């Protein structure tokens, strides 16, 4: 029996189909019984909300939003909120499931959650974004809180969005609640190093992979698909480590220079103009071309389903470090493995963000804040320890790093469930 058989319909969203496929394969390897398999394949709680927002022209627009908690077995749910036109319930279910495994892989006392609003924030004013965010925060306030579910930034959300959510929640409570979200501005309880955390964690893992393979990050060639928060920080930090970032793209395309891009100028161009293509060093390149170019390290840092069965045979990178969630399909995974490409899975490679979110949650609850050096040192230690555990899991029996990470994550969630028992 597989968990998908218990769903009323087969998954329509590719991300959710991938998440369930991955889970079922690992459930087989772990020998999970039918009851646990079904339980862990489904969200524990999910909320869909339709809510009105007054737009700048005076019209009323109804938005659709979601918050899904996959598991609370290991602690409060943790996961980002994204604003994107393609946000849907099944995608959010997949992301919540991956968050549950991710938190367990790096051994944080959190369950997995995710949320989002189907919208195009690039077509909205700041005032409209604020009104939408505050109303959405009100709608999901029955789910979130520092003891039960802590949102964070994700695609097209940032520290300002988290500040609005924190303030809205606090207004309902009548006092400031620093721990209700993470990824906040420093002035209202944010953590040093949170903005760069996903990119830094990705860079740490990339460096560790090169070291274990007998090479060095110094001089390694890197291509980065996606030049948002994770991609830009990964590019900057890898460049500081001595790597040569030869190509980077955003949703509109990007630039390639075999001698290496000037990362600081590329980031400045992206921030000033909104498009990496406006950085005029090197040759224009598309997202598809970037994924297939020769390089030591490929970092997909955009959206799901970027490396598929169609393009995987043409991937020439030696190592893929997944800064995005679900960028590689199961079919592509098999092809890459057969071709000798090392793939470090998302639930390990991009865990830096949730690790420093955990630090921020702790600091906010204690009202005692750490300096940047302490945050970075603790992040590096946890990332390296988690990588070592995944590599060790991959050796006996011989499995891929993705399978090993999922076995570690799903195994830890399963252990928590068994220890807690079934209520009543």
Phi and psi (nearest 5°) for 40? Answer: -75, -15
Q: Give me the percent of the chain exceeding a pLDDT of 90.
A: 88
> What does the alpha-carbon distance between residue 384 and residue 401 come to, in Å, rounded to a whole number?
14
With 0-12 / 13-18 / 19 or more C-beta atoms within 10 angstroms meaning exposed / middle / buried, residue 32 is: buried
Question: Distance of CA 214 to CAs 207, 208, 210, 245, 341, Å?
Answer: 11, 10, 6, 20, 15
Please state the φ and ψ torsions of residue 373, each to the nearest 5 degrees: -60, -40
Contact of 33 with 80, CB cutoff 8 Å: no
Mean pLDDT, rounded, of the chain? 94
| Percent of the chain's residues with pLDDT above 70 | 98
- Say if strands 221-225 and 149-153 run parallel, antiparallel, or are unpaired: unpaired
Q: Cis bond leading into 322, ω under 30°?
A: no
Contact 317, 298 (CB under 8 A): yes
Bond before 424 cis per omega within 30 degrees? yes
Residue 139 to residue 49: CA distance in whole angstroms: 7
> Where residue 5 falls among pLDDT bands split at 50, 70, 90?
very low
What confidence tier does 7 reach under pLDDT thresholds 50, 70, 90? Answer: low
Give the Cα separation of 232 and 244 in Å (integer): 14
Give the orientation angle of helix 401-420 with respect to helix 372-395, to 10 degrees: 100
Chain segment 296-341, per-residue pLDDT in tens: 999 999 988 899 999 999 999 999 999 998 899 999 999 999 999 9
Q: Pick the closest to residue 353 from 167, 151, 146 (CA basis).
A: 151
CA distances from 263 to 226, 255, 352 (A): 14, 11, 21
Q: Quick check: is 384 catalytic? A: no
pLDDT digits (tens, 9 = 90+) for 96-145: 999 999 999 999 999 999 999 999 999 999 999 999 999 999 999 999 99
Specify whether the CB–CB gap between 414 and 32 falls below 8 A.
yes
At 9 the pLDDT is 64
Q: What is the average pLDDT across 142-159?
A: 95
Catalytic residue (one of 29, 61, 78, 114): 114
Residues 404 and 394 sit within 8 Å (Cβ to Cβ):
yes
Q: For the chain, what is the HEC assignment? A: CCHHHHCCCCCCCHHHHHHHHHHHHHHHHHCCCHHHHHHHHCCCEEEEEEEEEECCCCCEEEEEEEEEEEECCCCCEEEEEEEECCCCHHHHHHHHHHHHHHHHHCCCCCEEEEEEEECCHHHCCHHHHHHHHHHHHHHHCCCCECCCEEEEECCCCCHHHHHHHHHHHHHHHCCCCHHHCCCCCHHHCCCCCCCCHHHHHHHHHHHHHHHHCCCCCCCCEEEEECCCHHHHHHHHHHHHCCCEEEEEEECCEEEECCCCCCHHHHHHHHHHHCCHHHCCCCEEECHHHHHCCCCCEEEECCCCCCECCCCHHHCCCCEEECCCCCCECHHHHHHHHHCCCEEECHHHHCCHHHHHHHHHHHHHHHCCCCCHHHHHHHHHHHHHHHHHHHHHHHHCCCCCHHHHHHHHHHHHHHHHHHHHCCCC
Please state the rounded mean pLDDT for residues 394-406: 91
User: How far is 307 from 171, CA to CA, in rounded Å?
Assistant: 44
Measured distance CA(396)–CA(321) in Å, rounded: 22
Which pLDDT score, from 0 to 100, does residue 155 have?
A: 87
State how far the alpha carbon of 352 is from the alpha carbons of 68, 199, 287, 320, 367, in Å.
Answer: 21, 7, 24, 17, 22
Q: How far apart are CA 150 and CA 244, in angstroms?
A: 36
What pTM was computed for the model? Answer: 0.93
Confidence of residue 275 (pLDDT cuts 50, 70, 90): confident
Is 6's pLDDT higher than 60? no
- pLDDT tens digits for range 182-230: 999 999 999 999 999 999 999 999 999 999 999 999 999 999 999 989 9
Please give the domain boundaries of the chain with CATH numbers for all domains.
Answer: 44-175 (3.40.50.10860), 197-349 (3.40.50.720)
């Amino acid at each position: 029996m597989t968990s998908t058989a218990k769903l009323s319909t087969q998954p329509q969203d590719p991300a959710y189909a991938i998440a369930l496929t991955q889970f079922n394969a690992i459930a087989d390897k772990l020998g999970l019984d039918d009851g646990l398999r079904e339980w862990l394949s489904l969200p524990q709680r999910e909320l869909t909300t339709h809510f009105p927002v007054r737009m700048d022209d005076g019209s009323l627009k109804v938005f659709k939003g979601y918050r899904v908690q996959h598991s609370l077995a290991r602690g409060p749910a943790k996961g980002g909120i994204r604003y994107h036109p393609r946000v849907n319930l099944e995608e959010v279910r997949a992301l919540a499931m991956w968050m549950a495994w991710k938190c367990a892989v790096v051994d944080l006392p959190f369950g997995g959650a995710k949320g989002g609003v189907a919208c195009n924030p690039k077509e909205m004013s700041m005032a409209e974004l604020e009104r939408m965010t505050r109303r959405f925060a009100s709608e999901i306030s029955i789910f979130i809180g520092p003891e039960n579910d802590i949102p964070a930034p994700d695609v097209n959300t940032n520290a300002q969005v988290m500040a609005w959510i924190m303030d809205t929640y606090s207004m309902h409570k009548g006092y400031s609640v620093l721990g209700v979200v993470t990824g906040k501005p420093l002035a209202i309880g944010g953590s040093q190093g949170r903005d760069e955390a996903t990119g830094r964690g990705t860079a740490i893992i990339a460096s560790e992979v090169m070291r274990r393979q007998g090479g060095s990050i110094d001089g390694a060639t890197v291509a980065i698909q996606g030049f948002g928060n994770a991609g830009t920080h990964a590019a900057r930090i890898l460049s500081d480590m001595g790597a040569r970032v030869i190509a980077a793209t955003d949703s509109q395309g990007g630039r390639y220079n075999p001698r290496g891009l000037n990362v600081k100028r590329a980031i400045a161009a992206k921030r000033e103009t909104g498009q990496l293509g406006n950085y005029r060093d090197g040759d224009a390149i598309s997202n598809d071309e970037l994924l297939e170019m020769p390089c030591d390290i490929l970092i997909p840092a955009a959206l799901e389903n970027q490396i598929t069965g169609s393009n995987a045979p043409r991937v020439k990178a030696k190592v893929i470090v997944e800064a995005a969630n679900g960028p590689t399909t199961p079919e592509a995974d098999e092809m890459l493995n057969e071709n000798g490409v090392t793939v470090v899975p998302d639930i390990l490679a991009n865990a830096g963000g949730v690790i420093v979110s955990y630090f921020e949650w702790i600091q906010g609850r204690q009202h005692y804040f750490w300096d940047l050096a302490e945050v970075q040192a603790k992040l590096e230690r946890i990332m390296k320890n988690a990588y070592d555990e995944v590599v060790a899991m991959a050796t006996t029996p011989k499995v891929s790093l993705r399978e090993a990470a999922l076995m570690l994550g799903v195994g830890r969630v399963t252990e928590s469930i068994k220890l807690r028992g079934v209520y009543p």
